[in-house]
Amino acid sequence: MKKSLPAEARDIEELKKQVREITWYHRIDLGNGIITPGTDNSPKKLRTLGFPQSLTGKTVLDVGAWDGFFSFEAERRGAARVLATDSFCWGQGGETTKEGFALARRVLGSKVEDLNIDVLELSREKVGTFDVVLFLGILYHMRHPLLALEHVASVTKEQLIVETVVDCLHSRRPVIAFYPKEELANDPSNWCGPSPSAVIAMLQTVGFRRVEVAANYRPFVFRLGRALYYHHKFGYPFLSMLRTCRMVFHAWK
């Protein structure tokens, strides 16, 4: 006679089944050896963000939270309140849903709040203000990047952390590359590639007094290897991958 699994083991197997049924972007450690199979190496990205080691007592807003890795990390680092917002990746236009966020929050026993809201709808009246705001991997998806930063700035009390694709890397002038079709990574949701100086200038324009580069773009040899890899593996346009990279900016009011 075949023995049935203990209740705890059955629960773990059921959780594994639920994880397999969801398309993940973030890699979130749910415990018991279960890590969500996201395409984004979220723990590695975390190390490049210059994330405050302690957020004790802080309020945090995670704009474009998707599966919520950085929301849950902010909570783990002591934030008194965390609000995760998204719209596109929670089923309002994108192909993904909110299921990953909901499952991870339940399994982690998290108190992170959530709100379906577009970036351009953010305001003090609708969400309040937050000590620390995360704007990670969102700016280059904006058709109106300066307007988006105005809305994000309006709800930031102290610090904003921006992670974004940058283009025109060696331009001293603040310029923005426009992608009207699928020029960047064959993805029509990628609209713009600001130069590093443009990101800094936009942040200053919307009211941040101090802006610092927390993670700079990679050297040419790195970008060349990456461009070749993504071109041959995924068919991404070679030149767009070669001339772009990702950077992290910290801005303070």
Domains in the chain: boundaries:
39-252
Give 140-195 pLDDT, tens digit per residue. 999 999 999 999 999 999 999 999 999 999 899 999 999 999 999 899 999 999 99
221 has pLDDT over 60: yes
**Cα(236)–Cα(186) distance, integer angstroms:** 6
User: 39-252 in CATH: which number?
Assistant: 3.40.50.150
1 has pLDDT over 80: no
Residues 120-133 have a mean pLDDT of 98
**Cα(181)–Cα(167) distance, integer angstroms:** 16
- 38 CA to centre of own chain: 13
Which tokens in the block code for residue 175? Answer: 């310029």
DSSP 155: T
pLDDT band of residue 62 (cuts 50, 70, 90) is very high
Local structure of 192: helix, strand or coil? strand
pLDDT computed for residue 2 by the predictor? 47
Residues 135-139 have a mean pLDDT of 98
DSSP 217: P
